[in-house]
Structures are given as C-alpha cells and as structure tokens.
Amino acid sequence: MTDTAATAGAPTRPASVTDELLERLVARVPGSGGATWKLTEVYSGEVLVELPQSTPEDIEEAFATARAAQRLWAQWPLERRLEVFDRAHALLVDNAHVTADLIQVESGKNRRMAIEETCDPPMVISHYLRRAPKVLAPKKRGGPVPFVSTSTEVHVPKGVVGIIAPWNFPFATGLSDAIPALMAGNAVVVKPDNKTALSPLFGISLLEQAGLPEGLFQVVCGEGPDVGPTLIDNADYIMFTGSTATGRVIGERAGRNLIGCCLELGGKNPMIVLDDVNVEEWVEGTAFGVFGNTGQICMHIERIYLPESRYDELRDAFVERAANLRIGAAYDFGPEIGSLVSTDQRDRVASHVEDAVAKGATVLTGGRARPDIGPAFFEPTVLEGVTTDMVAGCTETFGPVVALHRYRTVDEAIKLANDTDYGLNASVWGTDLARAEAVAARIESGNVNINDALATAYASKGTPSGGVKNSGVGARHGDQGLLKYTDVKNVAVLKKQVMGPRPGQGYDAYVKQMLSSLKLMKRLRVR
Ligand code: NAD
C-alpha cells in the first residue's frame, strides 16, 4: 500500500471552502429550534460549520413555500423551464472544481471520484433537455368508438416532490433526481444527509443562479427519523436513495399516505468472470468496480466468482493491483482511494472483516483501518473463503472489501450470484460477448454490466436504472425517471353521443351489433 498523503497531518482545506461560503450555504436551511449539527471535514475531523436542524414546523413551512412557487412554475411553458437547465448545465460544469472541493471535505472521497460525481447532474440535464419535450408532450389516441372519440394522455406535475438523499453521492443524489422532477413542473424539498449537505446546497445555489425561481427548491436538514415523517406526510411523491432498511420505513409511510415513491436501495452485487476474460482489462475495471469511492457505491462489486481453471492467475493479478492502490488524504488527483465517510462507517467495515476472519475467511490483502492517514481510512481488502453465514457473505458491507469465490460451471456461478435477497447490479466479464450476454440474461438484477463493473449502466441516462428484489422499487433515468414525477390525466372526448342503443333499437339487437363490431375492430386493428 502506497501512502501519498502526509501521514503527519491532514491536507490543507481547499482555498475555495471559506468560512464565508460555508455560512452562506447553510444559511438557507431552516432551523427555528436553534439545534445544529456539527458538519466536519472528514480528513481532519475538524468542525466546518454548524448545520441548522429543521423542526417539523420548519418542514411544513418549506413545503408551503415550495407549493406556492410550484403553482407559478407549472404555468411556465416547458421550453422556458428547460432554458433554466440549459444555463444551469454551463454553471455546473464551470464550477466543477469548487463542487468537488465541497464533496471532498464533507465525504472524504478521493478527488478523481469527486470530479466524476460533479459530471452526473450535467449528464442528466443533457439527456432530459433532449428528451423531455417528447416525453411530456400530450399523446392523442383514438377512443373506444372509431372516428367520433379520442383520448389524450396528459402529464401533469405531482406537486411537491420530497427527496431523501444519502451521503455516498451527495451532490449527484441531491441534484440529479431533482432535475427531472423540476423539469416536469414540480417543486422539490430535499433532505440531504447531515454529513454531506454542503455540495447539494451549492448545486442548488447554481440552479438558482441559472434562473430557477426562488422558493421552488427547498432544503431541510436533520436526522432521518426526526425529519422523515413530516417530510413524507407533506409530499406528493417521495424519491428515496439509501439503505434497504430505511427504504422499508419510507415505503410503508408513503403507502399509508397513498403517494407514490421510488426507492433506490442497497445491493450485494456479484461479478461473474468467464474463462475467456482479458485479464489486464478485468483487473483495472474491477479495481474501480470494487474500490471506487472507497467501496461506497451502491452498485459496487462485493462478490467475485472466478473460474476454477484460471482462479490462481486471476486472484494473484487482482490482489497485486489491490495491494498497490494509492490510498491517501489529498485534495489533488494523486490518491486512487480516499477515506470512508466517517469513523462509524469505518467501524462497520472493520466489523464485517473481523466477523469473516473469526469464522474462517482469509485476508489476501488489506483488512486494517489506517488512522495514520486519517480518522476514517480503511485499506482495500480482498477476502477468500467467505461463506453466507458470515455478515460479509450476505449483507452489504459498503466499503472497500470484496470476497473471491471459485466456480466449476457457469450454471453454478449464476446460482451463487443469484443467491441473495438483493438485485441492484451485477457484472459479467468475457471476450465472447454473446456468451456473456446469455449469462447476464440469467442474473436477477436491475442492472447488469458486461465487461465493466457499474459505470456503463449508471451513465446510460436514457435507460431506466433501478433495483429488483430487496434493492428497490421503481427506477431513475430514462423516460420512467421523468414520468414518475407526473400524474397522468386521461382527457377523453366523444364528438357525438353514439354509445348505447339507437332510438327504437332493442337491447338484444344493440348487444349483437356491439359484439360483432368488437370482432370487426380487432380485424381492423382499431384501438
Ligand atoms: P440510510 O438509509 O441510512 O440514509 C439515507 C438517507 O435517509 C439519509 O438522508 C438519512 O438521514 C435518511 N433517513 C434515515 N432514516 C430515515 C427515516 N426513518 N426516515 C426518513 N429518512 C431517513 O443510508 P446511508 O447509509 O446514508 O446510505 C448508504 C446506503 O444507500 C447503502 O445501502 C447504499 O447501497 C444505498 N444507496 C443506494 C443507491 C441506489 O441508487 N440504489 C445509491 C446510493 C446509495
């Protein structure tokens, strides 16, 4: 393991992250009760700013303000709404480095990952700028009676969308899910994680600089169980990203309120490596797929199934790469691996490794916390001999830890990959693409990447992406990622009252005529 950071002390905080900026950002968070949360810089553990904590009354007021702003926003023609995002795209790209500074101070991730994260909202904007006019346009169809009736599908905004976001991609989940909601004519109230409220607050200020009306995008902060109930009870739709356990709580409450929700939850994502894999490409792609964002990507790989015939070769190549990843605390592009988000997360990861080792697993590399680099650092860790009775064998670890397994037949590998309650992401590697695609088709997962671990699916903004089984309900991206923020209104027109028996026509004759016209309409394919 190579340390690029000065282990004697944390790196100097980026110059852009001034006290003035921090105070300005948190000033928009309501906190009438006076309670605050100490938001810290991960590398140093120093308090950056006192983040106001919103009371139930603050949240209700935020919704009232958002609702008033939404009524006006929904009346803007779609093209005018989209112009705001056209301008916002440029501002988001031009401010990518300041955004990355904020993402890094609050999450501790390495700079490469922070910069990649800044690209997500602009990618979402680009996609929906092109697609929204078509998807949101009314669609007129023939009605039940040919020529005299029509039915038009009209999409109207839901109202105020509540977004609850996690800490692992705070800027992306705080903004990217809000963008299609706003484009569709909704207001948004977002609740970021307390640890990572700065970068979404900064992103929202950029949207407002681009012309988003004031009041339309509200931010409330607090611990989930304190803020969640009032937020859900006031929202017209909930977009949640986080753990499966919290997703169940959110889904139950949304269900009771009869509002829709999209739940993007955890995973225990498998990778199947076929025996014709290109080892160099696989090692590089998998190092990112496992350890990117220090293993705190919902779609990252935690289980790798290797063919018996090439097990030793593939294991040795991967372990060597993992052992040589540059881990460090720095606000430059040097480190390949950054910190975990908090010491709590570090302890969770350590406990999974300790449990596995106690039950017989072997650490091939890593396995230790690195307080010499920073409070929440943990080494890239590769395990062998993990079984499903170990916590790391069945539960999401969400850290830089992966288990290698060997398989004899592809059928066995698929069975093992599917032996989980989760179904968020999977990866298949092999030179023969048709064979890899056939394997992908048999994996129970909302996303499957072939010859990549996760980024290809996630960055394909035109295709819906979500989890199956315990990994979620609904999807983001694609037409579905926009339409979910709308209610559909069926506006039906009958030009002439022709339903029912004609004057003087007996009901028997009418029914006979109706049944034969059903056959005729099918033959003529009238819908
Ligand atoms: P978490 O569920 O603990 O918290 C997520 C958010 O929910 C936070 O803002 C938190 O404050 C809030 N929250 C917690 N309890 C709540 C409650 N009772 N009511 C309302 N809100 C509540 O998850 P986390 O630890 O912050 O994030 C990591 C998890 O998120 C991992 O499981 C990861 O896989 C998952 N994740 C999934 C995706 C995806 O797209 N599927 C993306 C990123 C992260």
Residue with CA at minimum distance from ligand 1 atom 14: 224
Annotate 85-106 with b (16+ C-beta within 10 A) or e (fewer): beebbebbeebbebbbbbbbbb
Mean pLDDT, consecutive 10-residue stretches, the chain (527 aa), reads 50 98 98 98 97 98 98 98 98 98 98 98 98 98 92 98 98 98 99 98 98 98 98 98 98 98 98 98 98 98 98 98 98 98 98 98 98 98 98 98 98 98 98 98 98 98 98 98 98 92 94 92 77
CATH class of 269-464: alpha beta
452 phi and psi, to 5 degrees? -155, 165
Q: How far is the CA of 277 from the centre of ligand 1 (A)?
A: 35
Residue with CA at minimum distance from ligand 1 atom 28: 242
- HSE of 125, CA atoms in CB hemisphere, 13 A: 22
- The enclosing H or E element of 447 equals strand 447-450
| 56: its two tokens | 């139930």
Question: Ligand 1 pocket test: which of 107, 230, 232, 246 has the largest number of ligand atoms within 8 Å of its C-beta?
Answer: 246
Domains 14-265+479-486 and 269-464 belong to one CATH topology: no
User: pLDDT at position 361, please?
Assistant: 98
Residue with CA at minimum distance from ligand 1 atom 23: 242
- What is the residue extent of each domain of the chain? 14-265+479-486, 269-464, 500-527
Annotated catalytic residues are 264, 298
User: pLDDT at position 9, please?
Assistant: 79
Dihedral of CA atoms 199, 204, 205, 207 in degrees, nearest 10, equals 130
Ligand 1, CB cutoff 6 Å, lining residues: 164-169, 191, 193, 224-225, 228, 241-243, 246, 249-250, 264-267, 298, 396, 398, 424, 467, 472
Q: How far is the CA of 97 from the centre of ligand 1 (A)?
A: 26
d(CA 456, CA 316): 26
* CA dist list (Å): 39 to 22, 25, 103: 10, 12, 12
Within 8 A by CB and 6+ apart from 406, the residues are: 305, 306, 307, 308, 311
3-state secondary structure 457-517: HHHCCCCCECCCHHHEECCECCCHHHHCCEEEEEEEEECCCCCCCCCCCCHHHHHHHHHHH
Name the pTM for this structure. Answer: 0.96
Instruction: Categorise residue 230: left if φ over 0, alpha if ψ from -120 to 50, beta otherwise.
Output: alpha
Q: How far is the CA of 242 from the centre of ligand 1 (A)?
A: 2
Atom of ligand 1 minimally distant from the CA of 476 = 40
d(CA 363, CA 60): 50
Residue with CA at minimum distance from ligand 1 atom 43: 298
User: pLDDT at position 134, please?
Assistant: 98
Q: How far is the CA of 265 from the centre of ligand 1 (A)?
A: 7
Positive or negative torsion for Cα 104, 108, 111, 113: negative
User: pLDDT at position 524, please?
Assistant: 84
Domain 14-265+479-486 falls under CATH 3.40.605.10? yes
Q: How far is the CA of 352 from the centre of ligand 1 (A)?
A: 19
